[in-house]
Structure formats: structure tokens, C-alpha cells
Amino acid sequence: MDFNDTPEEAAFREECRSWLDANRLVGWEDRIGRDADGIAVSREWQKKKYDAGWACLHWPKEYGGRGASPIERVIWSQEEGAIGGLSSLFIIGQGMCAPTVMAHGSEEAKTTRVPRIASGEDIWCQLFSEPAGGSDLAGLRTRAVKDGDEWVINGQKIWTSGAQHSDYGMIITRTDPSVPKHKGLTMFYLRMDTPGVEVKPIKQINGNSEFNEVYFTDVRIPDSQRLGDVGNGWNVSLTTLMNERLAVGGGFPTNFEDMFEFAKNVEDHNGPAINNGSVREKLADWYIASAGLRNTGYRLTSALSRGETPGPEASISKLVLGENRQNMASFMLDLQDMYGVLNDPNLSAAEAEYQATFFRAAAHRIEGGTDEILRNIIGERVLGLPPDQRVDKNVPFTDIPTGDK
Amino acid sequence: MNFEFSEDQKMIKETARSYLADKCTSADVRRILDGDESFHPELWAGVAEMGWLGTAIPEEYDGLGLGYLELCVIAEELGRAVAPIPFSSTVYLFAEAILAAGTEEQKKKYLPKVAAGELIGCLAMSEGAGAVTPKTINASVSGGTISGTKVPVVDGDVADHAIVVAKTGSGNDEGSMSLFVVDLKGEGVTVESVKTVDPTRGHATITLNNAPAEALGDTGEGWAIVDRIFDRAAVLFSFEQMGGSQAALDMAKDYAMDRYAFGRPIASFQAIKHKLADMYVATELARSNCYYGAWALSTDAPELPVAAATARVSASESYAHTSKENIQTHGGMGFTWEFDCHLHYRRSKVLGLTIGSLPRWKDRLIDRLEARNVA
């Protein structure tokens, strides 16, 4: 056991470093955000990386990558460090939509659309969840009806991150409600400025609006924007969701160290809070979760370094992180006693970061697979337990009970 | 980065698993649980023959001189099999103490015997309920002999030698504590078996009445030595606990797949599926933390105190959780003597208390994190 690079990995790391040293943007830290300037600096960094072959480096060369191995991708992200956060604007397009287009799109879609996702010229969003289909994605109701060489889309999507900034969207629709739910779906992509597409921001419990509702009213798109066969949308969506889970990172920050420092410095009734047994007990539990995720990350990176596919342990991270972050942030407010109710960056400890996490972590446990769905996935795909018995599997979609009065 | 065991180490683990699957079956464990013996002598002899006792003992003392990563993978398998032998007391505590604090002469005297399976060792520390601190130690030494009562001593009723923590100074502080090797077959020693929550391992009350005592390490250094040994032993104990945790999860999973209720396997119910998923998460976190502890132990890294406490807390919690929920998954059958669920439930408690309980290790972990942040 060791934490050293192989000679090849060390050489690659050096190559990353020297390019980064020569090309790092100046002043980017002051321009982070989703306003026009934040989007501009994200695009600037993405284009710079793309021109040198560092954007989506694991993709084939023809799509703008350099065919990098998974471990090279991890090394790049370690070396790129914080500035890599600018690329989060493109993460859905690059991490989920582009791999789906590569696997299921027409030749034309692949060559024209995918490189522009790598370069940051086009931002994509993923139009999957609906009011009637979140965890139960295949319960979606947005309809696409064939009309000559075109499809006409009507319906509503929800929880679409970044729809307001997106140039394109990947949308899963129901094209045949007379067959069982998983069989009547078809995937498309479309420009977000197509007539009939309307984006409405959702006001979240933290007051922000990362997510949107997207309405479709008689939206017409050509059949050439179909991804995969008619009726095969469910399988196409699995490509997308599988890529979501393969987006492996090197580490899993929980900000434990900051919170530990905070507990050392804040006082309870008898002195520093960290001397209190109940505080120590909680901190110990959060440390083992935090260290456990970090050490699980080492195991994944080692597997990639050996050229292997990471094992099922990869699936635990979001489940552990979400719940721990929520509980930790809440407890950081408890430690401040009466003062903890403040939610003002000018007054609150850590510029109200714990208050922000107190709210945002609630979404962490829901987005990209709820805690409950993740437990099902661990149970069924990792442990091999039998699936739940379902009443909706082999009946026509139109006959499935909905609870509508 | 190579945060994984080597092919050779994995092979040692595979060999250990298949050996124990054959020689340490449920019937073997139950022979000790139900009978009068305090350990399984044939298994002990077999384990000695396999060379496991000397895995980390240097070759100059007749060990295999392999290392701690090899010992860790063996520990995981012993934990999985709930092995009824005094392995941890002899290897993780007795031999480690001799290696850490013994003179050359003591190493030559004791370690070859440990490696050959001719000497069972143990650590005699606790004297009563509550956290074991210097204040609770009344055993004392004068004129080369030791007097006092130690209870419980894990594997004490089958051990040949004990390392005894005793007072050498007048005070009850750490600096007044020293270590001694005592021949349990010698004069002035009374050993009495005691009932514990896990009869698959022997436990004893050891009464010393002017028993000859051989100093181990410098006078007044006893507490510091035990502290260091506990860090090293914590990693090895954690591997046993993690192996046990995996076994309890596997057992619960197999049962839930086979058991039908309401016309379907109970594993298809989310109430059971989510329970098993949580057992898996706890076990994987413990496994990752154990690996980090193994790395720190095998390289004598400065991170060892934090890494050992992390592995210990993580594996103690995981095994406590899975052994408890394994019973729950089995329903009423889990509460019967006939089913093996209680073997894990018992062993998880004993492993969790030997070398100090969970609250104590959590406290220790925070101490170490504070010290690290200050440094």
C-alpha cells in the first residue's frame, strides 16, 4: 500500500501542472456565480481548456477529448483544483447529455453537437423529472406525437437545473401510452429557444432558484433530433443515468475540519464546546463518516489506477454525505445557542455558511436519487436483493392508478 | 495510488478464508460455546502450523517476518469465522508488547514460542467496572513479586503468560504504572474462569499473591507502552470486527432472500432492503477506515493514532449495528440458540470492549484530532 503515482501517472501529473501553471486565469475567484459575468468566465476557462485538449479529456479526440484514462481524469481534476468548479456550469451537458448523444445520436448530432458541449459553447440541461415522475421517472406524462417528419411535444418538466442558462435540453417523452410504462418512451434533444418552451424558476426553501419548471406547449421538433429508437427512451435514459454515477471524483469534502475548528472555539456553559461529551461523540461519528468517504475514495482511485472498474462501494457516498452534512450543519447552529437563529453573512459565524448548508443539504438528500432510491439501488444492484413487487409493470400506462380524483 | 492489498496478501486472505471455512465451522465454534473448553485446541494448533501466529514476528525470532498488512487480512478472516481461539490476546497484545518493550533476551525467550503456538499470552489490566485508568489499578509490585486481582482477563484461563499492569510508584498516576510478565503456571497465581457474554472465548479472574514478576520495559513507562500497543492492536481488532460485520451482513442477506412472508421473499420489502443497505454502508465505511489504519500500522506513519482510533470506532459501530440487525432480520429465529446470529452478537460486544469501549475510543479519537490540529 502506498499513495504514490506510478511513473506514468507522475509524468501525466507533471504535464497537467505545467499547462495549468502557464494558463491559469487571473482573478477568476472574484467572478464566480451564475450571473452574466460568472457564465462568461466559466466559458472562457472551458474554451481555454478545450483548445488545449483538457476539456472532457476522457472523451475520444474527435469529440474534443484526448482519450485519457479514468485515472488520468482523476489526476487532472486533482491538479486543476478549485478553478475546476467553473466547469460545473457544463456538468450536465458533459457528464450526462453528451455521453448519451455519443451512444444514441445520429452521426450529424455527434459531430456537430458534442464538441460544442466540450468547449462550453453550448450549455445543456436534462429534462427528465416531472410533477408525476421523480423517483418514478418512467411515470412521466409529457407527450410527443408524430406529425409528418416532426414531433409535437406537450407537457411539463420540473427540477431542471440550469434550464435558464441552457442552449439545449435532452428530453424524455411518452410517445405511446397504450403500452406498459417503460416501453412507450422516446428521447429527443431540442433547442431551449424553440417556440413553445417556457422556463419558470422555482423558488427554493433557501430563497435561491437553481431549479426550474419547464413547460412545453405544441413544441415542434424534427425527427432528426431523436436519440435512439421510438419506444426505446427508457434504455437511452439508463445510459444517461449510468454516466451520472460514473462521474467519480477523488475526494468527498464534508467540511469536517472547519466544523471541528468551530467546535473548539465556540463556548458552551462549561467552556469550549469540544470539551462536552455529547459534542465529542457527534464529532467522532462525523469524523469516521468523513474519513470513511475519503478512504473509500482512495479505494476507487486505486481501482482506476489499476485500470479496473470501481466496485460497488462507489454508490455509498451521496447517501452518507447528504445526511451527515444536514445533521452537521444543524448542529453547528445548535452550538451557537440563541445566536444560531441569525442568517446574515455579516453577523453569523463562518459568514452564515452553516445556515446555508442547513437548507441546501435538504436537497442533497433528494437530487440525483433520493436516499430511499439509493438504498433500493444498494439493495438490488449491489447486494442483489429481489426487486419490489410492482403493480405498474406489465399494464398499459393508461391503466396505471394515479390517485387523480 | 495503491490503496489496496497486493495479490500475495489477497492470496493469504483467500487461504485463510478457505482454511477457516473447513476448520472453524459453526459446529466448531459451538463446541466451545456449549462445552467446558475455553478455546479450540485443534484449531489453535492448525493456525500455528499455518504460520499465522508469527505473521508479523521477525524471522530472527522464528516468525514469518511478513508484516502487518498480512496480519490484517488474517484478522479479517478470523473475525468473519468468529474463531474461538486466543489469537488477539496472544498476537495483537502479548507479542506486540514484547516486541515494543521487551529486551533482546525477552524477545528471544517469548516470541519463538508464540510463533510456534507453544505460548498463549494475554493482557491483564482491568480490575473493576468503569473506565480503566491509573486510578483503578491496585495491583502492585514489591521485591520482584506482584499482588493484586485482575478481572476480566480475556483468554486468561487458557494463557501461559500474562502481561500485567501494576503500580510501581506511590501515586495513582500514569507515571506510577509499569508492565510485568507473569508466568501463570508459576507460584502465587490463581486462575478462575468467569462467565461472560461470549463463552466462545475464555475469560478469567487472575489473583496474584506475591507472584514472581519480570519487568517489561522501563519502570513508570507501563501506561505509555500500553497506549502505544492499543493503537497498533486497535487496527488489528478493527479488522476482526469488520470481518465479523461483513459476515453478519451476509448472513442477514442470505436469510432475507430465502425467507418468504406475505407470499414473497422478505428481502423484497423495503423495510428489510433498506436495513440491509444501511448494514452495507456501515461495513464499507469500516472497511475503508480499516484499510487506512492498516496502511498507517504497516508504515509506522505519524497518522497512526488518528487512523487507529478511526478504524476502531468505525468497525466497533459497524459490527454492533450489523450483529444487532442480523438478529432483527431473522425475526424470532434470530433469538434462538439454534441459529448463529447470537455468535456475532456476543463476539461484537466482546471485541468492542476488549482494549476499551466505544465511548472511550471516541473520546480518544477527538483527543488525537485536537492534538493534530494544534501541531
Model confidence pLDDT, tens digit, residues B118-147: 999 999 999 999 999 999 999 999 989 999
Residue B239: which domain range? Answer: 223-374
Could you tell me the CATH number of the domain that includes residue B234? Answer: 1.20.140.10
Q: Which residue of A has its CA nearest to B5?
A: A1
Q: Give domain status of residue B1, yes or no.
A: no
What mean pLDDT is predicted for residues B85-96? 98
Determine the residue of chain B that is closest to A298 in CA distance. Answer: B3
- Does residue B181 share a domain with residue B151? yes
Across A215-222, average pLDDT: 98
Summary mean pLDDT of chain A: 92
pLDDT tens per residue across span B296-341? 999 999 999 999 999 999 999 999 999 999 999 999 999 999 999 9
Residues 360-389, chain A, touching B (beta carbon < 8 A): 372, 374-376, 378-380, 382-383, 385-389
Residues of A in contact with B285 (CB under 8 A): 288-289, 292-293, 296, 316, 320
Answer yes or no: is B251 within a domain: yes
CA distances from B273 to A79, A316, A378, A388 (A): 40, 15, 9, 9
The predicted pLDDT at position A368 comes to 83
What residue ranges do the domains of chain A occupy? 7-118, 124-235, 248-368
Are B232 and B192 members of one domain? Answer: no
pLDDT at position B162, please? 98
Contacts 24+ apart (CB under 8 A), B113-118: B114/B53, B114/B54, B114/B57, B114/B90, B115/B48, B115/B51, B115/B53, B115/B54, B115/B57, B115/B61, B115/B62, B115/B63, B115/B64, B116/B48, B116/B53, B116/B54, B116/B62, B117/B44, B117/B45, B117/B47, B117/B48, B117/B49, B117/B53
Task: Name the residue with cell 410533477.
Answer: A131
Residues of chain B found within 8 Å of residue A249, distances taken between Cβ atoms: none
Shared domain check, B47 and B16? yes
Q: Report the pLDDT averaged over residues A161-182.
A: 96
Residues B215, B155 share a domain: yes
Average pLDDT, chain B: 97
Q: Is residue B13 part of a domain?
A: yes
Q: Which residues of B touch A379 (CB under 8 A)?
A: 267, 273-274, 276-277
What is residue B140's predicted lDDT score, i.e. its pLDDT?
A: 96
Share of chain A above pLDDT 70, in %: 97
Q: Cβ of B3 under 8 Å from any chain A Cβ?
A: yes
Q: Does the beta-carbon distance from A372 to B373 stay under 8 Å? A: no
**Residue A261 contacts B, CB cutoff 8 Å:** yes
A338–chain B nearest CA distance, Å: 26
Whole-number pLDDT of residue A239: 81
Interval B5-25 mean pLDDT: 97
B199 and B257 within one domain: no
- What pLDDT is stored for residue A307 in this prediction? 84
Chain A residues in contact with B288 by the CB 8 A cut-off are 292-293, 295-296, 298-299, 313
| Beta carbons within 10 angstroms of residue B23's beta carbon | 16
Position A248 pLDDT exceeds 50? no
* A248-368 is a CATH 3.20.20.140 domain: no
Q: For residues A404 and B101, which has the higher predicted lDDT (pLDDT)?
A: B101
- In angstroms, what separates the C-alpha of B42 from chain A's closest C-alpha? 34
What is the pLDDT at residue B174? Answer: 95
pLDDT digits (tens, 9 = 90+) for B50-72: 999 999 999 999 999 999 999 99
Rounded to whole angstroms, how far apart are CA atoms B213 and B77?
A: 35
- Coil vs helix vs strand at A84: helix
**Residue type for B89, please?**
S
CB contact under 8 A, B363 and A376: no
A320 and B CB contact within 8 Å = yes
Picking from B288, B317, B363, B373 by the largest number of A CB atoms within 10 A of its own CB, the best residue to mutate is: B288
CB atoms B3 and A316 under 8 Å: no
Residues of A in contact with B370 (CB under 8 A): 264, 274
A403 inside 8 A of chain B by CB: no
Q: Is A303 on the interface with B (CB under 8 A)?
A: yes
- Rounded to a whole number, what is the distance in angstroms from the first to the last CA of chain A? 62
From CA B23, how far away is CA B318, in angstroms rounded? 26
The CATH number of domain A124-235 is 2.60.40.2550: no
Residue B108 forms part of a structural domain: yes
| Contact at CB, B1 and A382, closer than 8 angstroms | no
Residue B172 belongs to domain with CATH number: 2.40.110.10
Q: Which of A258-262, A316-320, A353-357, B21-25 has the highest mean pLDDT?
A: B21-25
pLDDT at A245: 55
Chain A: give the shortest CA distance to residue B263, in Å.
11
What residue of B is the nearest CA neighbor of A378? B277
The enclosing domain of B57 has a CATH number of 1.10.540.10
Judge whether B268 lies within some domain. Answer: yes
The whole-number average pLDDT for the span B257-280 is 97
Q: Which residues of A touch B277 (CB under 8 A)?
A: 374-376, 378-379, 382-383
The answer, for B73 touching chain A at a CB cutoff of 8 Å, is: no
Specify the CATH superfamily of domain A7-118: Acyl-CoA dehydrogenase/oxidase, N-terminal domain (1.10.540.10)
- Percent of residues, chain B, with pLDDT higher than 90: 97
CB contacts of A288 in chain B (<8 Å) are 285, 289, 310, 313-314, 317, 365
Task: Give the Cα separation of A47 and A50 in Å (integer).
Answer: 5
B2 within a domain of the structure (yes/no): no
Query: With an 8 Å Cβ cutoff, are B281 and A319 in contact?
Result: yes
Same domain, B56 and B175: no
- The verdict on B316 and B174 lying in the same domain is no
B154 strand-pairing partners: B203
**A241 falls in which pLDDT band (50, 70, 90)?**
confident
pLDDT at A249 over 70: no
Q: How confident is the model at residue A246 (pLDDT cuts 50, 70, 90)?
A: low
> Which of A1, A319, A378 lies nearest to residue B3, judging by beta carbons?
A1
> Which has the closest alpha carbon to B145: B215, B224, B205, B206?
B215
Does B99 share its domain with B14?
yes
A250 falls in which pLDDT band (50, 70, 90)?
very low
Encode pLDDT of A177-193 as tens digits. 999 999 999 999 999 99
Total number of domains constituting chain B: 3
Residues constituting chain B: 375
A/B interface, count of CB pairs below 8 Å = 151
pLDDT at A301 over 80: yes
Same domain? B178 vs B273: no
The reported pLDDT for the residue numbered A244 is 62
Q: Give the integer Cα–Cα distance in Å for A133 and A171.
A: 13
Instruction: Say yes or no: A338 contacts chain B, CB-CB below 8 A.
Output: no
Is the model's pLDDT at B286 over the cut of 80?
yes
Among candidate residues B54, B89, B118, the one where a domain is terminated: B118
Nearest CA distance, A78 vs chain B (angstrom):
13
B60 falls within a domain: yes
A393 touches chain B (CB under 8 A): no
In chain A, which residues have their Cβ closer than 8 Å to the Cβ of B286?
A: 292
| Residue in this structure with the C-alpha cell 486472505, named with its chain if needed | B13
What tens digit of pLDDT does each residue of A108-133 get? 999 999 999 999 999 999 999 999 88
- Determine, for residues A383 and B314 on separate chains, whether the beta-carbon distance falls below 8 Å: no
Is A269 part of the contact surface with chain B (CB cutoff 8 Å)? no
Beta-bridged to residue A198, according to DSSP, are A215
Q: Does some domain include residue B100?
A: yes
Whether the Cβ atoms of residue B96 and residue B229 lie closer than 8 Å to each other? yes
pLDDT of residue A252 exceeding 50, the answer is: no
Whether residues B177 and B89 fall in one domain:
no
Residues B140 and B252 placed together within one structural domain of the fold: no
Contact B257 A287 (CB under 8 A): no
The answer to whether the CB atoms of B291 and A295 lie below 8 A apart is yes
pLDDT digits (tens, 9 = 90+) for A314-365: 778 889 999 999 999 999 999 999 999 999 999 998 899 999 999 999 998 9
What pLDDT does A253 receive?
62
Tell me the nearest-neighbour CA distance from B302 into chain A, angstroms.
Answer: 14
Task: State the DSSP code for A272.
Answer: E
3-state secondary structure chain B: CECCCCHHHHHHHHHHHHHHHHHCCHHHHHHHHHCCCCCCHHHHHHHHHCCHHHCCCCHHHCCCCCCHHHHHHHHHHHHHCCCCCCHHHHHHHHHHHHHHHCCHHHHHHHHHHHHHCCCCEEEECCCCCCCCCHHHCCCEEECCEEEEEEEEEECCCCCCEEEEEEECCCCCCHHHEEEEEEECCCCCEEEEECCCCCCCCCEEEEEEEEEECEEECCCCCHHHHHHHHHHHHHHHHHHHHHHHHHHHHHHHHHHHHHCEECCEEHHHCHHHHHHHHHHHHHHHHHHHHHHHHHHHHHHCCCCHHHHHHHHHHHHHHHHHHHHHHHHHHHHHHHHCCCCCHHHHHHHHHHHHHCCCCHHHHHHHHHHHHHHHHHC
